[in-house]
Every structure is written in structure tokens, then in C-alpha cells.
Amino acid sequence: MSIFGYVTSLKLGAEDPPFDALIMAAMRKADTDNLKKLRDAWPHIYHEMTARYHAPGGILSPEEAKVYQDDSATN
């Protein structure tokens, strides 16, 4: 880790974003190998991110959103 990475982590921590947002951001930045590791660890976050990517404006229908809410409660 570089000092830049460490300082950036302090800034992110101070902003207090939701955990799933941090994981989604990591997935967006990840190379192929690291994306697979993140996807394997948090498949429900990966699937929701992918669904939102393909949805207009990232907005899911109420039925779709409920699927991800129910899924994240079990994981």
C-alpha cells in the first residue's frame, strides 16, 4: 500500500459510505482476477451492480429491487 492509498482510505472512511458502495467501487476498479475474488465473496452485490448498470439510470423496478434487498438480508 502507498501513502496515497492509505490517505485515500482515511478520506473514504470519514465520508462513511455504505459498505456495499465501497465493494461496488472496488469491483469497478478491479482487474479480472480481483473482480472474480470480489464477485465470489459478495455475489449479491455483484449481481445488483450489474442489474443497475443495465437499468436506465440505475433504477430497478420495485420487484427487482426487492429481490436484491431480500438477497442481501440472507448474505
Helix, coil or strand: residue 74: helix
Entry pTM: 0.81
- 53 has pLDDT over 90: yes
Decide if 58 is inside a domain: yes
Percentage of the chain beyond pLDDT 90 is 76
Whether the pLDDT of residue 2 is over 90: the answer is: yes
3-state secondary structure of 60: coil
Q: Is residue 42 domain-resident?
A: yes
- Integer Cα distance of 39 and 46 in angstroms: 6
Inside any domain, residue 28 = yes
- Write the DSSP symbol of residue 8: H
Number of domains in the chain: 1
In a domain, 55, yes or no: yes
Rounded Cα gap, residues 48 and 57, in angstroms: 14
- Residue 16's SS3 state is coil
Task: Return the amino acid letter for 1.
Answer: M
